[in-house]
Each structure stands twice: as C-alpha cells, then as structure tokens.
Structure 1
Amino acid sequence: MLHNISIKWHHLNPGLVYLISFSMYLASVTIQTTTFDVYYPHRVGAIIQLLTIMMMLVKIVFFDELTSKQIVGEVSLLGLVVIVALISKNNFLITTLLLIMAARDVDFRTIVKCYLWIVGGIMFVAFVASEIGIIQNITYATSEGFRQALGVVYTTDFAAHIFYLCCAYLYVRARSFRLLDYLPVFAALGIIYVFTRTMTDVIALSALIILFTLYIYRRKLQKNWLVRAILRYSFTAMPIMTFLILQLSAGFNWNDSIYVKLNDFLSNRLSFGSDAIFTYGFKLLGQSPIYINGWGGSRTTALSKGAGDLTYFFIDSSYLNSLIAYGVLLTLIIVLGTSIFLYRRSRSNDYLLPVIIVAISIASAFDQHLLTVSYNVFLLMYFSKLPNYSLKVGPSFKKSVLKD
C-alpha cells in the first residue's frame, strides 16, 4: 500500500500542483482587494493561505532538486523572512517567499498568463458589479473632481492593479507584438487618469510604454547610444529609485518651494515619507506596530514631525515601507538581489524583464504593492523557468555603449 502511495506521489506533476495552488491563493487575495471583500469569509482566505504554504513546502521538499548550496541559501532566506514576519506581524511575507521559491522550474510565461486571467477576470467582474450596484463603487470628491475605485477598495489600488496587469500583458505579447496590442494599454492609461486621477501610475505606465517600445524596436535603434545605455543599465533601476525616494523623503523641507511643489504633485508622499522616517526610523529586522490611517482620509491635518492630529498617514512607497516595517537587511536583499538577477538576465540577452522592472521600480517608489503577489506577479521570476535568448539584439556588454 505504501509502495502504491509512493508511486502515485511521484507521478504528480509538480508544475501543475504549483499552478493550481498559486491560482487559488491569487484568486483569494485578489478578491480581498475588491469590495467583494465584505461577502468573502476571512476564514476561507486563511485556510487557502495555509493550504498554499503546505503545498509550496511539499513541492520544494519533495520535488525540487536542489544543490547543497541552494538548500542552505533557501533555508537561510526563509529563516530571515520568518523572523521579519514575526517582528513586523506581516505573515504574508512567508507565503510570498514560498511562492517565489516553489516557482523553480515552472514556466514563467504560464504563471503570468494565469495571473492575467485570474486578476484580470476578477477586476472585470468587480467593475461590472460596482457599476450595477452589487458591490460598492467607492467614490471620493476632490478639488480635481471625483475619483472612483470601480469595485476595488481604494482608487490607487485599482490603478495599481491596472498598471501591473499592463506589465503582465506586454510581457506575454512581446513575442508576437503588433502595434494594435497597445490599444488595451492606452485604454488602461486613460481609465487610470480619468477615473482615479492617480498620477504616479500614469507616470509609471507611460514609462512602461516608452521602455517597451525601445525594447521592441531595439534592433533598429541599437546604433543610438542613449537607447543602448537605457537597455544595458536598466538593471540598476531599483537601487536608483530606492536611493532617490529615500533622499527626497529624508530631505523634505516645507520651506523649499521646489520640494513643496513636488510633494503636492505626488499627493504629499514626500512629506508623509519624511514623517515616517522621523517617527520610526530604520531597524535591521523591522518593527511593529506602524500606525497608519489611509483609505483617502483628509490630508489637511496630518502627522507633522510626530505632533498634531492624525487624520491621514500612510507610507505609500514600497521602499520606505520595506525599510521601516521589514528592516534594512531584507530590503537590501530584495533591492540588490533583484538588480543582480536582472544584470544576469541582461548578460543573457534578455532585456524584456529588465525594462518592465524599470517601470515597476518607478511605481514602487510611490505605491506599496512591490511585495504583494496579487499585484506584482513579477515577484515569481527569480527561480522560475525563463526563456533563453540566443539572438543578440541589444547593447553588448563587451564594449562601451557610448561608442558606435
């Protein structure tokens, strides 16, 4: 009997097990970002999360063929994340890391396609349901007009969902891209601007369109030194954006007119980032609790250097949020690890992932979804099965990009 069980166990398709478990978890956490959340039993979400953790561990332990070095690395990383999750009280970090590690040898394009169907489908259903009154369409009146969440819990979250869906869509379409494929992306850009007024996602999506165009036409543009430089050094985007938002937030000054104008354009993200750094600081392994009050509260009376009545306070930047809540060590591993990974992909003639991550790096400076798999499916790229690029079209690493 045990022999028969062993045979059946080893006949399981680990990739299929991963995709089914991932799809269930992705659907669960995505529903919780919509106003369907009030009808969704949180106990069901907790059970699905526990089942996902169990299945990811099963795949890693029983199916993945790891070297001794890989085992030490994964166990060490998991240990660090468990400690950070306990300190910061954010257990989703454990699930996210296990999804990343268990994606080993699973086709990344298939993962992205699952994400597109599941998240895209839920967003569409939520939009229709909010328009016909089944669920709430949360709307905020501002000086710039009405901002609508269209079935999602907040306007910026809806915009972020659309942005990440566009990233995934263009990644999948890159192999057989036609100009008509831009139509859904430009439609998404218009929806974000008209209905949510989320300028940070407008900027990030515009950057994605420009960078993706450079990638698609890199053969024709490869004699242009600027294009070569952008493609070659795109792997540095995340460290650069982390440093930039950290410097802008730490150096924010209400008496500097340039800072104030930039802060207004970014919906007070710099001033709130400055307050967060002043109030909490950075610790090696994170901290809790971090007191926030988001969801569109009034921004006129906010935390000011630890004093004053708090009606709205939120750490929007993924980088600042990670540094403050999850600690310096894990943040460095994420930022530098991503840059090293993308450098290796660039050396292997893959410029598609790096240019998409540039846009995600820009978005992550201003929103908190970098480490949330219901938004950022590109978290699962690190160990998954990625395509090989034999055609060397792009800037060679063997010579300077500044010379033709």
Structure 2
Amino acid sequence: MDIMNQTYQIPFGQRILAKFPWLADAIFFVSFELIVLTNFIQGTMLYNHQISSVVVGKVQIIAGILAVLKVLLFDDKSISGWLLTIFVGVLLWQSATLALGYDIFYYFLLLIAAKNVNFKYIAASFFATTTVALLLVFSLAKFGIIPNLSFTKANGTFALGMNYPTDLAARFFYLLAAYALFKNFALSLPEKISFLAVIVLTYTVTHTRVDLLVMALLLLAIIFYKQVAFILEKVTNKGITVLLGALVAVLVGASYLYRDHSTLFTLANKIFSNRLSLGNRAFKEYNVTLLGQPIPQQGFGGSSTEKLADYFYIDSSYLRILMMFGAVTFLIFIGLLVYLSQKFMQQRLYAFEIVLILVAISSLIDQHLYDVSFNIILLAALANLDYAKDSHYY
C-alpha cells in the first residue's frame, strides 16, 4: 500500500473517544459557536461600542486552537491529506495576515474540524444561535443601548442593530437557508408560510432587492423541489459549473474593463449598484497580488447614515477575495465551490446544491461568502451529510 495514502490517528485520541465518544463533536461545536458569535458581533453595533476588537480577537484564537485540537486528536487523515491540509492552512494564514482579515483562515479551521460532524446539527446550532443573537441585538437597538441606524433610501430602511440594512437582509437569507438544510427542504405548509412572512418583513424593513430575490427563489425551490431537482439533473454538474463560472468571470472581467463613458457599462453598473465602478477602482489602485494585501475601505455600514465624500467598499465576495486575499486564495475558493457542486450532484443532495447556487449568486453582490456567521454551506465539504441522502422525494 502507498504509504502516502495510509490513514493515521493519534492513539491518545482514540483512547479518549473510547471513553467519551461525544467529545470530538463537543469540541467542534464550542469552536463553531465561538467563531459564529464573534463574527456576528463584528457585524453589529455592539462591536467597538460595548465589545472591543481585542476581546473578539482573543476569543477567536481560543476557538481556532480548539478546532485544531479536534483535528489533531480525533480525525484520521492520510499523510498526503495532512500535508495538503497544512499547505493550504499556511497559504490561507499568510493571505489573511497580508490582508489584515482572518475570517477566511478561521473558516478553514472550522471546515477541516467539521469532518464527520453531522451537518444537520451544524445547521440546527447555527439557526438557534443566530436567531437568539438577532433577537438580543434587536432588543438592544429597540431600547437604545446600541444605535439603530436608519437610512433614507426609498421610504426609509433600518439596520435594527446591524451595521447596515443589507447585512440584516443577508442574515435572514442565510438563516432561512440553514433551516431549509436542517429540514432537507421537507417543510410543512405552516413553515412555508412562515418563510414567506420573513421574506416580506425583511424586504419591508431593508428594501434589499438581492436578498428578496434569493429568498424568493429559495422558497420557490422548496415548494417545487421535485421540478427543480429534475432540472438540475438535466443541466448536470458541468453545466451548473460553467454557468456559475461564467457569472463570476463576467463580474470580474466587467469590473476590470469598466469604463464610465460606455453606455453598456454604465447600465450594468447601475444594475449592480455601482459595484462595477468600485471594483474597477480597486483594480486601478491596487491590482491583484499573489497572496493578498490590505485595502483600506469605508462604507456606510456602522458609522454614518449620510453619503460619504469618498465612499469605497468592495461588496462582491469574489472581488474581495481576489483583491484582498490574492489570486491563490481566490483559486482555492473557486476550487472548493466546484468540488462542493460536484459532490452534491453526484450524491443527489439537491437541497444542498440549490442553496450553494443561491449563495454563489448572492456572493456576486454581497461579501458574506467566507463569513461563517452568515454562510455555513462550505462546512458541508467534510461534514457528515448522511441524514440528507435518503431523501423522502425519491
């Protein structure tokens, strides 16, 4: 047998699991909850008002150590698997250090620590934690303990303790997606009505069109699951990969080639809420590096309800990864998305594939792809998905 493909697990960890079979999952979930909560806090008006960045940073370090401990003690890997994990981890650490942002690195630690953990429990934990955290922040904003920023777009939009209304809308989209995955899209009529109520309420408060679209598509996919699954089978994994890859390529290419004197580019830029012109500015002022760079940005979120004299923020997840974390990290992420799509389609996990497609579409506009307090679908790369394989639809 090839020694590089032999699997190994620390004997000490095996002995611990023999006595405490629940311990590996427990360590993962403590790490998971800590990182979700600290990332969540950074997207609210609690951050730097009541809770300092120093505290958040130290908690995340503890969570990261726990994730690594779970992997080292309880997970078996081949030598080639360990080498690949270490190599990618070092690359992402260097990229995060250069970009001065560690969300991607901590997501990676959780991703490898999620090996063999039941994704159903991950989704349930995420849903419960995020729901409680949202209710707490809403209450704090309601009673004036933290600011409840309001913005003047349309008839007025509210952040309800978040940094910006679009962040609030994205929270609800990812919350609904997590619940849908927990139920493997097998929702009752009252649950579907509740989804519709959340969608209407979210748009009423935030006026966010992108999240209205993806939430509406999610609900439609749940209602017409058999038909959507049939279409996915006909399109095939290769077709889905090509279509989504084309969307990402068009976004990146249009941002790079954007010219404000072009009628076509101007129209597209308006449709994408000025994201093409902002992406073009990023290319002109910073360009793409191999492993990342710091890019100072200032958006509306968390600081002002008035227009800024020099607004500059890269919203698209793909452009943020490419410009801030470098070409290598960008390719790693694209490879991960392609791998997940292939895995879901091969195993007929169509609920997961639908959510992945919606997340990929949403990430063209928003920056939450690599924030685990929003998006948990990437954890499905190594997590146990057995609960969803025996679908009641087939």
TM-score (ref. length: structure 1):
0.85
Partner of 2:361: 362
297, 300, 316: which one pairs with 1:295?
300
Q: Kindly provide the amino acid, as one letter, of the partner of residue 234 in structure 2.
A: A
Preserved CA contact (<8 Å) 2:35 2:106 = no
Q: Kindly provide the amino acid, as one letter, of the partner of residue 229 in structure 1.
A: K
Preserved CA contact (<8 Å) 1:285 1:327 = yes
TM-aligned CA distance change 1:79 to 1:231, over 3 Å: same
Q: Kindly provide the amino acid, as one letter, of the partner of residue 341 in structure 1.
A: L
Question: How far does the alpha carbon of each residue in 1:113-137 deviate from its partner, in whole angstroms, 9 at most, with x for none?
Answer: 1100011111122123322323211
Preserved CA contact (<8 Å) 1:238 1:361 = yes
Q: Kindly provide the amino acid, as one letter, of the partner of residue 264 in structure 1.
A: K
* Structure 2 SS opposite 1:368: coil
Any residues of structure 2 matched to 1:178-193 within 5 Å, and which? Answer: 178-193=188-203
How far apart, CA to CA, are the structure 1 residues paired with 2:148 and 2:93? 37
TM-aligned CA distance change 1:347 to 1:5, over 3 Å: closer
Q: CA deviation at 1:262?
A: 3.3
Preserved CA contact (<8 Å) 1:53 1:95 = yes
Q: CA deviation at 1:75?
A: 1.0
Q: CA deviation at 1:318?
A: 0.4
How far apart, CA to CA, are the structure 1 residues paired with 2:392 and 2:137? 43
Q: CA deviation at 1:140?
A: 1.4
Q: Kindly provide the amino acid, as one letter, of the partner of residue 100 in structure 2.
A: K
How far apart, CA to CA, are the structure 2 residues paired with 1:390 and 1:94? 33
154, 160, 167: which one pairs with 1:157?
167
How far apart, CA to CA, are the structure 2 residues paired with 1:339 and 1:5? 33
How far apart, CA to CA, are the structure 2 residues paired with 1:145 and 1:377? 33
How far apart, CA to CA, are the structure 2 residues paired with 1:332 and 1:392? 36
Is 1:241 matched up with 2:210? no
TM-aligned CA distance change 1:50 to 1:282, over 3 Å: same
Partner of 1:264: 270
Preserved CA contact (<8 Å) 1:22 1:52 = yes
How far apart, CA to CA, are the structure 1 residues paired with 2:189 and 2:240? 23
Any residues of structure 2 matched to 1:113-124 within 5 Å, and which? Answer: 113-124=124-135
Question: How far does the alpha carbon of each residue in 1:301-326 deviate from its partner, in whole angstroms, 9 at most, with x for none?
Answer: 7xxxxxxxx52110000000101111
* Structure 2 SS opposite 1:71: helix
Preserved CA contact (<8 Å) 1:272 1:314 = yes
TM-score (ref. length: structure 2):
0.87
34, 41, 47: which one pairs with 2:44?
34
Q: Kindly provide the amino acid, as one letter, of the partner of residue 104 in structure 1.
A: K
Q: Kindly provide the amino acid, as one letter, of the partner of residue 201 in structure 2.
A: I
Partner of 1:58: 69
Preserved CA contact (<8 Å) 2:244 2:360 = yes
Is 1:99 matched up with 2:110? yes
TM-aligned CA distance change 1:236 to 1:109, over 3 Å: farther
Q: CA deviation at 1:6?
A: 9.9
266, 275, 284: which one pairs with 2:290?
284
* Structure 1 SS opposite 2:382: coil
How far apart, CA to CA, are the structure 1 residues paired with 2:79 and 2:55? 37
How far apart, CA to CA, are the structure 1 residues paired with 2:272 and 2:102? 30
| 290-299 or 186-195, larger mean C-alpha shift | 290-299
Q: CA deviation at 1:272?
A: 0.9
How far apart, CA to CA, are the structure 1 residues paired with 2:392 and 2:129? 34
Preserved CA contact (<8 Å) 2:187 2:222 = no
Q: CA deviation at 1:283?
A: 1.6
Partner of 1:170: 180
Preserved CA contact (<8 Å) 1:316 1:367 = yes
TM-aligned CA distance change 1:271 to 1:192, over 3 Å: farther
Q: Which runs of 5+ in 1 are unaligned?
A: 302-309, 395-404
Partner of 1:125: 136
How far apart, CA to CA, are the structure 2 residues paired with 1:238 and 1:5? 41
* Structure 2 SS opposite 1:145: coil
How far apart, CA to CA, are the structure 1 residues paired with 2:306 and 2:334? 30
* Structure 2 SS opposite 1:217: helix
Partner of 1:339: 338
Preserved CA contact (<8 Å) 1:212 1:356 = no
Preserved CA contact (<8 Å) 1:26 1:373 = yes
Question: How far does the alpha carbon of each residue in 1:81-125 deviate from its partner, in whole angstroms, 9 at most, with x for none?
Answer: 122122222233322211111111111110111100011111122
Preserved CA contact (<8 Å) 1:200 1:266 = no
How far apart, CA to CA, are the structure 1 residues paired with 2:232 and 2:104? 36
| 123-132 or 154-163, larger mean C-alpha shift | 123-132
Q: CA deviation at 1:64?
A: 0.6
* Structure 2 SS opposite 1:369: coil
Preserved CA contact (<8 Å) 1:211 1:356 = no
Q: CA deviation at 1:281?
A: 1.4
Q: Kindly provide the amino acid, as one letter, of the partner of residue 16 in structure 1.
A: A
TM-aligned CA distance change 1:7 to 1:339, over 3 Å: closer
Preserved CA contact (<8 Å) 2:13 2:74 = no
How far apart, CA to CA, are the structure 1 residues paired with 2:196 and 2:392? 30
Q: Kindly provide the amino acid, as one letter, of the partner of residue 389 in structure 1.
A: K
Q: CA deviation at 1:147?
A: 1.6
| 16-25 or 128-137, larger mean C-alpha shift | 128-137
Preserved CA contact (<8 Å) 2:39 2:371 = no
Partner of 1:110: 121
Preserved CA contact (<8 Å) 1:236 1:339 = no
Q: CA deviation at 1:230?
A: 4.8
1, 15, 19: which one pairs with 1:11?
19
Preserved CA contact (<8 Å) 2:14 2:74 = no
Preserved CA contact (<8 Å) 1:14 1:63 = yes
Question: How far does the alpha carbon of each residue in 1:260-312 deviate from its partner, in whole angstroms, 9 at most, with x for none?
Answer: 23322332112111211222211221222x121112569977xxxxxxxx521
Question: How far does the alpha carbon of each residue in 1:360-394 deviate from its partner, in whole angstroms, 9 at most, with x for none?
Answer: 01110011110011111112111111126256978
